[in-house]
Every structure is written in structure tokens, then in C-alpha cells.
Structure 1
Amino acid sequence: MVRLTDHGVVLAADGTFTAVKCAEQQSGGKRKTMAYGILKAHNHSDNMEQLQLKFDALVSPDNNYVNILQTARASGIKKFPVPYVLSNCHHTLCAVGGTINEDDHVFGLGNAKKYGGIFVPPYRAVLHQYMREMMAGGGKMILGSDSHSRYGALGTMGIGEGGGEVAKQLLGRTYDIAYPPVLAVKLTGSPRPGVGPQDVALALIAATFQNNFNKNKVLEFVGDGVYNLSMECRMGIDVMTTESAALSSVWCTDGKTEEFLAEHGRRDAYREMAPEAGAYYDGLIEIDLSSVECMIALPFHPSNAMPIREFKERMPEVIKEVEEAGNKIKGNHGEPFSIQSHMRDGEFFVDQALVSGCSGGLFENIVAMADILKGYGIPGSGLNLGINPASLPVMADLMEQGIAGELAVSGATLRPCICGPCFGVTDVPANNQVSIRHMTRNYPNREGSKPGQGQMACACLMDARSIAATVRNGGKLTAATELDVEYRTLHHHFDPKIYENQVFDNYNKGDDSVELTMGPNIADWPEMQPLTKHLLLKTAGSYHGSVTTDELVPSGEASSFRSNPEKISEYAMISRDPEYVGRAKAVRALEKSRREQADGSIQTGDAECNNLLAKLTVELGCSISDITLGSLMVSDKIGDGSSREQAASCQKVLGGFANLANEYATKRYRSNLINWGLLPLRTEEALDIPVGSYLLIRDVRDVVSSCKNPVMAEVLDPASGSVKAVLNCTLDALTEDEQKILLSGCLINYYRS
């Protein structure tokens, strides 16, 4: 299905690719890609190797826009410089915390009125669908504070980043990044009936995630196969490229693209886009669409994907692997995680089915489900099917064309236009149940499980078509290609009046006299300290394997406290290491005590720490005020998953000053660390740093300000103060602004000064 070429290639005039022959062919061909043209048009530096980008539009959902707005306000914002869409799609049904959700929405609307923003009220649209329908267009760039900010099918390079990067754009600053590698994704053929966009996406992710093939790279979709796909199919594939760890994506455009934009009242946003002959790419992914099978991504990552056919052939073996992985996550909390009972008579049965949001809730997906379910009913004695259309215009057209009624008769329920189940705040399955979902993620906590409390469920990703086929067969796992279905080709009609009547578009019409209403949960960021001369780190968390952003700060009910930095920090690592918060707070308390010693004495309340600090002041020839004490998180790989800045800011609020890893899963997580003043230390050495270990970085301000690499991190014996080992680390490349942010203690401190 998927073939990878891991070396430079050049696009020929006939659409074939050949190996690059010389440096001149590479440098000249680099300028012939679609990505180069878009990046050049948005670059504000005089160097295309070190980009300083400004975006055409910004977008944030309600699970993080309050923090971003608070950061921008604390940094002195006067107005939104570009269209900034505040979408209310993540937390509309998450009622934990009383008035919190609507308090945040009131605050968001107030900011849109004050600074000139665009406010999409609850239930009107999932943020990415709104951006497709109303904001994306040829040659544009959009930055979002949600990791699935992908609009490449419309010719827009979308990038999902942490809130700090959005705040920088609001303050007129740039998004600084080295010119990224660009990969060609050549599509050929056409999908078979029953194969949908999620199947293509999962095949791509399975082939590229574990080997880091796409990591922090731009994917450029080319080939005749592009033109054989509908716009919605392209969008459904495109939004899932985030799960391959790609930085961004862009597709060739055609008449279908122009038609989509024209139907949404934006024909002038169309731009014919294709690479030139001779375009150079750093690698090549080839996908034969006609060979793609119906796929299933098993827990606990979208990359754990295989054809449904293969899963059935290897069922006992694969289920055993899933259970082993689940019990490793669950630990000794409650009865062992088990889904063996779902195997019956050589078949696999599921308990719940959901299709939702930016990847699943598209018009064509839902029509195809109605075609598959035609004439069949879903009994109320077990399996349920829920559908969240991606926007109110999609919902309205499903009703207008009778599809909603057909699905209701079959027993499916259409829910509001929100990200609920995808974000883990609605439709949580029961313990040890299996849920099949057309949405973006199936992390171990994403469906609402709480392994630390003995609650564990199993979420599998599939395309809407195979989900409907499985529901039609009474919950027996079924690939849509196993059924003979007559699929309709219905045209989606977009009604612009829905948004004209209901979306508050106040761009360029801000009113500084507007007073903001701040609910009782909305809190300002706490004071964050800058680095002093030396940095002493105490390890509060040390892990093997990968630490995801859903573990760093869980989605679901914990995010109800997203607007209160101290409250949400209480949930950091709660599903994997419930003791982390207590250990980090203890280090924070020691540092606070150290700062409060006006007479320069060393009395932190911890005898071991006092002893070590006393020895270090002698060894380093400095006063206690020259040593910053902060907590450290250590793991082999950190940061796979969401762009939510709370994954880093919670660590900072708890007194964190650094991460140490062999690898950072994404560029956006590393950026989050920097924006919150945490050193992104990386090493090639094996990491065996137990909890409680102390690491010293001498002259850390000089290390950061001059970007000195390697960074020598000394592992200390707390009793004697002697050096037990020295880790050879790096901060990798830092821009001048990133150096200043780290020295200041966080982005807010830097911009405030």
C-alpha cells in the first residue's frame, strides 16, 4: 500500500521521480516545490534557511484560548493583528467544574469584542471545519493552537502549535524555524468502494510514525491520485497527517478545489497549485490508493494500524499484545485489563461506535454510513452509534437532504457539532469495552479511561464506512469492502446564512473600552522566576519509553480547569505517575524557601538539599542567590500528541525548569518547553536518572545566551556534592528570541520586559 524512499528525489515533467544527481539540482529544485513558494511569501527574514514566519490567520479552541489570551494580555496586546478565530467546540458538554465552561466562553467573546476577533459560538462548528469552510485558501498559512490544524487540501499550510506561538503572532512576533525538510507524497489510483479517507490516513501513519519518517517535515501531496479524490476525502486524509508527526502539509489544487471554495462564497481564495518539474524533495512516499484496504488502528496509538483482514487473521496474537500493553499502562490498579471476551466464534465484537469531528464528521462520510445502514436497525440492547457532524452547515444539509432522518430510523443518533468524543469529554465506554471511532486519536486516556483508578477501555480507529458495516453486522468487526453497497453521490450544499446569522465576526472592529468578564476559575499566570547563574535540578519524574501529552496533562474532565494554571497543574502525570505532582511541588517549595532567605542563609526545610546547596556555594564560589533550584522530568521520548501548551506550562507552574530526553516527539512540544522557560535538554546517552537525583548545570545563563553545545549536566551525590557522572547534552539550535525567553523564565516575562 505504501512505499518509502529515504533519500532526495527530483520530480520529472512526466510525474515520475528520480534520485538527485548533484547539489545544484537539489538547491535549485528546492525552490520549485509548493511549500517553498508559500514559506517564501510568509518569511520575514532575509534568509530562507532560517524562517521568520507570519501567518494569515490564527485559530484556537476553548480548551486553550483563555491561557493564550491571558498570555497576550500580560504581554501588552492592543488588538488582534490578523483574523483570530475563537472556536467553542472542545468543552461545550464537559460540565465538570460548574460554571467554568460558559465562563470561558463569555471571556472569549469579550476578548473578540475588545481586540477584534472572530467568535464561533458553541455547537456551530468544529474549529478545523470552520477554517476549511471560511478561512483557508490557496497559498495561505494558518497557525492553530490545536495540533490538527491542517488545511493543506485547500492549498493552505496549516501548523498546529502550542499557545505560546499563537501569542507571539498576536503580539506581532514571528514563528521562527529552520527551513523544514519537504517530502513528496505521490498518490496513484483510486480507492475501492468502501475504502475511505481514514483508511488511507492510517496506512500512511502506520508506515511513517514509528520510524520518524515524517517527523517535523512538510508533506506535499502530488500525483494523479490526488485528482481522483473528492475534496472531503482529501481533507479527511490531510487532517490525520498530524498523527504521523509531520509539521504541515499542502496538496495540489484543481477544479474540485475551486468548486469547493466557490460554493463557500470564496472563489477568490482559489489558487492553482502544483510543483514545477525539477522540484526537489528530501524523500518520497508512494501510496497506491487502489491497494489500500479497510484499516483498524488498535490501542494505544493511530500508528498501531493494520488491515482489518490482517487483524482477523492474527486476532488472538494481536489481542494478547493489546492486553499486555494495556496492563502495563494500568499497572496494579483493579482487575487486569481484558478484551478476550470480545472474541466469539472466531469473530471480534465491539460495544460502541462513534464518528466525529474534523476527520469523521464530514458530509460524504455520513452519507456513506446511511447507505450502508439502509434497511437495517440498531437495537437498543447494546451497541450504540453516535455521529457528531463537523459543522452546523453539514448538519443542516444532512437534514435537508433526508440523510439525518434515514440515520435516525436506523437507530443512529446525530449529536452537536463538537469535538466531544475525540477529546475524551463525551461518550466514554464502559470498563473493558471496545469502542470503534472515526476520529483522530486513540491514546490510552483519550476515550475517558482512568487507568490509575482501575478504569480502562479500548478505543480503535476505523473509517466511518467500516464502522457502519460493523454496526450493520450487529457489532461484528466488518470491513466495508466485505459488503455489497450501492453508494450515492450526493452533493453537499453549504448555506452561508448559518454563519452570517450566528458567528460574531469582529475582525478589525475592536473596542478597547470593553470590560472583560472573568469567571471565578479564570486565573492569571503565577509569577515565574528567571534563571540565575547556575541551575540545580532535582528529578521529579523519570520514565522509560514515551511520555505523551495526554499523560503530561490529560484531556477530558481535567481540562475543565484549563483556565486556572494552579488547578490544572494538579493533574500533571496523574494517569501514569500520581506522585509526580507532590514531588514537583516539594522542589518548588524548596526553591521558594531559598529565594526568601534575605540574609543569604541556606535554610530550605530539607536537610539533604541544604547540605548540597552549602557545598555547591563553596564549590562554585557563589552565593545561594546564584543557584536556581527546579524540578526535572526525564524520559526516553517526551511530547507525542496534542499541541496543548499545558503539557509544558503545568510543569513550569509546579516549579519545573527542564526536560531531559533522548528525543522530543514533535517540534511543537519542544517549542512549548522553551516558551514556558523549561530547558529542552537532549542527550544521545542512555538515561538512568532515578527520581530524586540532582543534576547541576554550571553557568547556565552563559550556556543559554551563547547556545553552548554540548551542555554538561553533572549528576551529583547529594551527600558529598561530588560528581557521580557527567551527561553530554545539547539544547540543539536556539533562536535569539528563544535564548532570551529561557533566560527570562518564560515568554510572558520576556515580552513584558
Structure 2
Amino acid sequence: MITLHNNGVFLAGGVPAAAGPVSPEEGRKRTMAWSILQAHNISGDPEHLQIRFDAMVSHDITYVGIIQQARASGMKEFPIPYALTNCHNSLCAVGGTINEDDHVFGLSAAKKYGGIYVPANQSVIHSYAREQMAKGGTMILGSDSHTRYGALGTMAVGEGGPELAKQLLKNTWDINYPKVVLVYLTGAPRRGVGPHDVAIALVKATFASGFVNNCVLEFCGPGIAALPIDYRNGIDVMTTETTCLSSIWETDGVTEGFYRAHQRPEDYRELHPADGAYYDKYIEIDLSKVEPMIALPFHPSNAWTIHEFLENAADILAAVEADAQKRYPKAHVKLTDKIRDGGVWADQGVIAGCAGGLFDNITEAADILRGGSTGNGAFTLDIYPTSVPVSLELTKIGATADLLETGAVIKPSFCGPCFGAGDVPANNGLSLRHTTRNFPNREGSKPAEGQFAGVCLMDARSIAATAANGGRITAATDIDYTSVHHDYHFDKGVYDRRLYYGFGKADPSVELVMGPNITDWPKMQPLAENLLVELAAVLHDPVTTTDELIPSGETSSYRSNPLRLAEFTLSRREPAYVGRAKAVAEIEAERLGGDAPEKLTAILDKVGDGSALVKTTQFGSCVFANKPGDGSAREQAASCQKVLGGFANICYEFATKRYRSNCINWGILPFTLDAGTSFDYAPGDCVFVPGIRQAIENGIEDIPARVIRTDGAVEGLMLHVKGLTDDEKEIILDGCLMNYYAKRN
């Protein structure tokens, strides 16, 4: 099905080959990734990229903070097309008026600075970007981790908000030239196998080993021709879960048809690697051998074929129960009781968002369910078309009526089920979702408080097959149905009658509408000569997600209020963190006020003259985690730590570039440890890093530190800060990105 090759390969004559017509150095310049990245690189150095994007997209959880950062840093107008979609907080069910206050702010900002405003329930962020912003050979930056439009010939990247603020200030996205991995597709999928099946299989094959971490995936091969454009988009959006950096696909007549259907044929560009393109690694996917898949909690890589799962359900579900109980002792997890009457039964099916709510997914779900019933038991099926144009076309061809007749419920365009703000199952419920993630809490439960629900990712086709069997988990390949192809007709008029198109029409006279929850960022201090951090959380999980660092769901409503949002930091993983961090911040406030706090002086006495050191040593909190930052691009995973006085993360490696970038942009030191270094310290222990400012200034990457345990023992520890760019050094020295820009303005 999927084979990984951890060696370089040429694409010669259209097939992977050990040797090519040119050297590997020349061959790497023949990839699609090279041509697009270098076309957007203004550094003059092909190995150290400074990228300017063609367009940007944000949604209503992120755009307020981004605009506030850019505004505080001197932005006067949006220099590139920037779409503000309202697809995350569109429920407006939590926090009184504050969600709609954000939307009103967004419209006023679009008018003031020249943006594109997409009102609530019109489209999810990535659907709008595909429909109206993707263009062949261009690059798009989004403040959402699933910013992926590679199947349309657009290289797209999901990053934290500060990276978008940089682009609004005409600065650049800076990276070293990434490794490029060939994904070579052959064969054709069987009926009943959908894009999520391919994507989940790819995530399973690559995630745990980090095989494509921070790489660009380049999709080529004869198998592409067998895939409709929605199928390609459905695979592409899930490449985020492999932890790759971005993606790009060969384009063809099918891609061109997408642009024609969306009334902008001029935006199509034919893309292929040149003969002899060289790749650092490659992955082979035989589409004909892909099986219907199911990803069990708590990650898309925890995957099995549906048949394997059904044959071993007792053991697999028992393992999920044990994992959940270990993570959440207050919850009484029971999923093995889903096994009964010779099958495994789910409580809910959801087809939604940028991965699930696509036209082809929903029409094929309608083909499977047509004339049947979802049953009158506990099982429910909810379907969220990805945009109003998609919903309109589904209505015109009768698919909506077919689904409603079966008992399915059609809902408006909304990302909520993907991050825990819609269709929350009952306690111990099992939900099947064609959405992007199944991390803890992504379904909206609060297991730390005793609630628990589990999400399994499945393709829309198998969810529909399951619904046709009243909730009994069923692979779509196991049922008999006829799939009816429908050409898609995009009606842009529904957007023209509702959206605000303001790019190039900035009006400085417009006043921003600021609701009571929209607040400015608190003042951040520059990095001091020395740094002392107290461990406020020590997490030894293999991976710590951004959902754990700052939970999704109801917290989304508070993302325009940095101080209020910070109260949720690590609340579902380490509830004592906020109190510990605040206690440290209070001591630092005393120090900044000119006092010499007794606790701080006593700690510093263990490593020198405490009375002298207290004047030059910044005191903050710190999070240790083995591998933090998998998951969403949300900058709040880092900014909330900084708002609470956090000054460092210590880890063995960062799960994603985007989380590390978020830390740097908020002035959080991204310390790493050598593999094998013991870190048996506990909350309350402190780490003293003398001369940290000078070390950052001079680009010193190996930094000796000392750990001061709560019992007074002092031990040595070697920290590393690897590969900072000159700008990143300055951002850390200045205390955060906003300070960096304010200083230069």
C-alpha cells in the first residue's frame, strides 16, 4: 500500500530511479518545489530563503490578534490579498457578544486596511482559499495548520499569527531550504475508498518516525490522473498531520477543469518536475491497494484498516481505554461496550470542514444512503458542506434532499466539529468523523473534568455506509452501491452578493470596531543579561499538542483577549500551571519595580551573589515537554505562556517548525537538549542561564546552564539554541516580534 524509501531518488523518464541525467545538486533544482520557492525568495541565497507570499488567509480565531500585532507595529494597509473568514467562532454560543464582536471588528478591519471579508457560514477558510485565492505557481500563508492547496498547484503554509503579521509589515518568512520528498502515486482507488483513507494511511506510515517532518511533499506519478480534484484536495489537506512543511502536486487537465469551473481559467498553470529532478527521500503509494481506514483516538496516525479494527476491536478499544485512563484519571472510559451483536457500534457520524465537506464526498455519501435510513436509534449523522456554493450545488442536484430523507441533518459551513465546538458527543460516546484531527478534546469533551468522548477519523464513504447500517461500523467497500458522477458548477454570485472585497481599497478613515473582549497585548520586556526560569509544567508525554498547550473549543471565544485566554493555558493537561506561572510573574514584577524579592535572591545565592544577580537576571516560568507543538498553528499556544511570564521552553525537539516559530516570535527561548540527556526535574525546580543575552547576540548555540532543585542541590545542564536567523536573534533580544517592530519604527 505505502512504501517509504529513506534514500535519495531521481525522477527520470517519469519514474523513480537510482541514477539520473544530472547530479543530485543539479537535480534538486528541477523539482516543482525549488522553482516555486526560489521564485518567492528575495534573499539572493537559494539555501537561506526569505519568502514573500502572494496572499494570506485567516479565520475568526486568529485574525483579530494578527491585525492587532500588525497595527501595533505600524501597519497602514494590507499589502497583499488577505481574506478574513468567519468559520470557527461562527456559532456565537459562548461568551455573550464576543464572537460576533470579533466579526464586526473583522469587517471594519477589512474596510480600513483593504481586506476580503467572508461572513459567518459562507465558507470554511480553506474552501474559500481553494475557490478564490489559489493560483498555479503561487504561495499562500494561512494562520491555520491545514493551509494546504498543493493539489491546485499552490504551495501553501500554515503558521502562527506573528508570521502573518510579518507579511503585513512587508517582511519575510525565513527558512533554510527544506528537504523535498517525492510522493509517487500509482494505480487507482477502488470504489468505496476515499481521500481520507489514503491520507490516514499516509499519516500512519510517516508520523511516528518523523519521516517527512518539515519537508515539502511533491506528489507525482501516473496515479494522479485517476483522482478527481476533490479527491486530491482531500488527501492534500491532511498532509499537515504528517508534520510536513508544505506540499505541491503535478497539475493536469483535471486541475485546469477546477479553475475553469471556478470561472478563473487564467489562474491555472501546468506544473511538472523537470526530467532528472532529485528528491531527498521518496514514498510510493499504490492507490489500488489502499483499504478503508479508521484512525482511533488520540491521533490520526493511530490507524488501522477498518477490517483489521473490526477483527481486533476488543484489544484495540481496550488499549484506547487504558491510554485515556492514564491521561485522564477522573474519566471513567468505556469504549469496549461498543462491541455487541457481532459488530462495533458508533454513536455519531460527522462529515465536515476542509477535508470532509467537499462536494464529491457528500454526493457519494448520498449515493450510498439514497433510499435508506440512518435509523431511529442513538446514531446521528450530521453533514456540513464546506461552502455556500457547494451547498447550493448539492441542493440543485438533489443530494441534499436525498440525505435529508434518510435522517441525516445538513448544517451550515462551519469548522466546529473539527476542533470541539460542534456536535459534542455524549459521555463515552464514539464519534466517526471525516475531519482532520482526533486529538483529545477535539470533539469538545472535557476528560480532565470526568467527561470523555472518543473520535475516530474515517472517510465520508465509510461513515455513510456505517449510517446505512444504523451506526454499525462498516467499510464502504463492503456494501453495494452505484456512484453517480456530477460535474460541479460554482456560482460566484452567492459570494458577490454577500462578501466584502476590499483589497486595494483601504480607507484609513474607517474606525475599528472594538468590542469589550478585544484588548491590546500587554507590554513585553526585552531579554535581560541572565535568565532564571522556574519549571511550571514538566510533561513527559511522547508528544505535547497545541490543543494541550491551549485547548480549543470554548476557549476560542477568548482569543481576542490575551489575558483572559491565558487562564486556560495547559488547563486540560496540567491545571496547576497557571497558578505556578502567575506566582513567578508576581516575583518578576517586584524585581522590575526595583525590589529584590527574597525568594529570587535566595535562589540566585545558590549560583553566585544573589543580591548582585537579582539586578541583571530576568525571572520567568518555563515549560518542559519531550516534543511540544504538534497540531494547530495557533500562536496562542506560545503567546499565552508569554502573557503569564513564560520565558523558555525546554525540550528534546520541537514537533513542528510553526510552534518553534511561535515561541521565538513571542520571545520564548527555544531550548533543546541532546537526545539521551536525563531531565528528571519537577515543577518548582529552577534553571539558571547566565549570559543568555550575550549568547544569543553572538550566535552561541551551546549554552551551559545550572539547575537549582527545590532542595537546594545544584546540577549542570547543557542547553542548545540551534539555527536562529539574525532576525530571530533580534526578536528574542527585544522580547517579542511586536517589540522588534516598535523598536525599528
Shorter-chain TM range is over 0.9
CA contact (8 A) 1:602 1:614 kept: no
Q: Show CA shifts across 1:686-737 (max 9, x none).
A: 32221111101111111111221212121124565x6x32222211100111
The 8 Å contact of residues 635 and 687 in structure 1, kept in 2 or not, is answered as no
Amino acid at match of 1:42: H
Per the alignment, residue 675 of structure 1 pairs with 665
Match of 2:228 in 1: 230
SS at match of 2:350: strand
Q: Quick one: distance in 1 between partners of 2:9 and 2:698?
A: 37
Runs of 4+ residues over 4 Å off in structure 1: 614-617, 717-720
Equivalent residue, structure 1, for 2:206: 208
1:726 aligns with 2:678: no
8 Å contact from structure 1 (residues 94, 426) kept in 2:
no
Closer, same or farther: CA 31–83 of 1 in aligned 2, 3 Å: same
1:410 and 1:627, CA in 2 relative to 1: closer, same or farther beyond 3 A? same
Distance in structure 2 (CA, Å) of the matches to 1:622 and 1:742: 24
Distance 1:658 1:221 in 2: 37
SS in 2 for 1:663: coil
Name the TM-score, length of structure 1 as normaliser: 0.97
Deviation string 1:497-552 (CA, Å, 9 cap, x unpaired) is 11111111100100001111100000100011111100001000001012110010
Matched, 1:688 2:680: yes
Q: Distance in 2 between matches of 1:153 and 1:35?
A: 13
Contact 2:261 2:488 in 1 (8 A): no
Q: Does 1:716 align with 2:713?
A: no
Per the alignment, residue 572 of structure 2 pairs with 575
The letter of the residue matching 1:504 is Y
AA in 2 matched with 1:253: T
Does residue 314 of the first structure (1) align with residue 312 of the second (2)? yes
Paired residues for 1:446-485 under 5 Å: 446-485=442-481
| Contact 1:534/1:627, CA 8 A, preserved across alignment | yes
Aligned residues: 740
Q: Which residue of 2 aligns with 1:101?
A: 99
Aligned pairs for 1:263-274 (under 5 A) are 263-274=261-272
Do the aligned partners of 1:114 and 1:511 also contact (CA within 8 Å) in 2?
A: yes
Q: After TM superposition, give the deviation of residue 623 of structure 1 in Å.
A: 4.8
CA contact (8 A) 1:608 1:718 kept: no
Residue in 1 that maps onto 2:348:
352
Alignment of 1:303-382 (within 5 A): 303-331=301-329, 333-334=330-331, 336-382=332-378
After TM superposition, the structure 1 = structure 2 runs for residues 37-436 of structure 1, keeping only pairs within 5 Å, are: 37-331=35-329, 333-334=330-331, 336-436=332-432
Q: Partner of 1:502 in structure 2?
A: 498
Q: Which residue of 2 aligns with 1:547?
A: 544
Write the letter of the residue equivalent to 1:162. Answer: G
The one of 587, 590, 608 equivalent to 1:590 is: 587
Paired with 2:28 and 2:202, the residues of 1 have a C-alpha distance of 24
Using structure 2 for the length normalisation, give the TM-score: 0.98
The alpha-carbon deviation at position 622 of structure 1 amounts to: 4.1
For the 8 Å contact 2:373–2:470, the answer to whether it is kept is no
Inter-partner Cα distance in structure 2 for 1:136 and 1:713:
47
Instruction: Name the aligned partner's letter for residue 170 of structure 1.
Output: L
**Aligned residue in 1 for 2:17:** 18
Deviation at 1:330, TM superposition (A): 1.1
Preserved CA contact (<8 Å) 1:225 1:289: yes
2:108·2:513 contact (CA, 8 Å) conserved in 1?
Answer: yes
1:392 alignment partner AA = V
Shift of 1:254: 0.3
User: C-alpha separation between the residues in 1 aligned to 2:155 and 2:326?
Assistant: 38
Q: 1:368-391 CA distances to partner (integer Å, 9 max, x unpaired)?
A: 011110111123431110000000
Aligned to 1:430, what secondary structure does the other structure show?
Answer: coil
Per-residue CA shift, 1:576-620, capped at 9, x if unaligned? 1111100011111110011112xxx512xxx4433123555627x
> Aligned residue for 2:436?
440
Paired AA for residue 646 in structure 2: G
Distance 1:535 1:223 in 2: 52
* Residue 705, structure 1, aligned to residue 697, structure 2: yes
Task: Give the Å deviation of 1:624.
Answer: 2.5
Please say if residues 547 and 631 of structure 2, whose CA atoms lie closer than 8 Å, have aligned partners that are also in contact.
yes
> Where in structure 2 are there 5+ consecutive unaligned residues?
none
Give the letter for the 1:355 counterpart: I
Partner of residue 621, structure 2? 631
Q: Is the 8 A contact 1:183 1:284 kept in 2?
A: yes
In structure 2, the partner of 1:742 is: 732
Q: Which residue in 2 is equivalent to 1:3?
A: 3
2:603 to 612, 615, 618: 612
**Residues 424 and 443 in structure 2, CA contact (< 8 A), matched pair in contact too:** yes
Structure 1 distance, partners of 2:262, 2:427, is 43
Aligned to 1:651: 641
Q: In the aligned structure 2, how far is the partner of 1:276 from the partner of 1:536?
A: 53
Please say if 1:602 is aligned against 2:596.
Answer: yes
Counterpart secondary structure, 1:368: helix
2:183–2:220 contact (8 Å) kept in structure 1: yes
2:534 maps to a residue whose letter is: K
Conserved 8 A contact 2:181-2:215: yes
Deviation at 1:479, TM superposition (A): 0.1
CA–CA separation in structure 2 for the residues paired with 1:339 and 1:94: 32
Letter in 2 for 1:694: C
Counterpart Cα distance in 2 of 1:26 and 1:91: 47
Residue type of the partner of 2:234? G
Q: Residue 359 of structure 2 aligns to which amino acid in structure 1?
A: F
Question: Cα–Cα, structure 1 residues 420 and 719, in superposed 2: closer, same or farther, change >3 Å?
Answer: closer
Residue type matched to 2:371 in 1? G
| Alpha-carbon separation, structure 2, partners of 1:27 and 1:94 | 53
In 1: Cα distance, 2:643 partner to 2:423 partner: 31
Letter of the 2:686 counterpart: Y
Alpha-carbon contact 1:635-1:660 (below 8 Å) kept: yes
| Residue type of the alignment partner of 1:715 | V
For residues 613 and 649 of structure 2, what CA distance do their matches in structure 1 show?
26
Matched-pair contact (CA < 8 Å) for 1:611–1:719: no
The answer as to 2:558 corresponding to 1:561 is yes
Cα distance change, pair 429–664 in 1 and its aligned pair in 2 (3 A): same
Say if 1:636 and 1:687, in contact at 8 Å, map to a contact too: no
Task: Please state whether the residue corresponding to 1:51 is helix, strand or coil.
Answer: strand
Equivalent-residue separation in structure 2 for 1:262 and 1:687 (angstroms):
57
Answer whether contact 2:239 2:247 (CA < 8 A) is retained.
yes
CA contact (8 A) 1:162 1:672 kept: yes
Contact map agreement 1:612 1:718 (CA 8 A) in 2: no
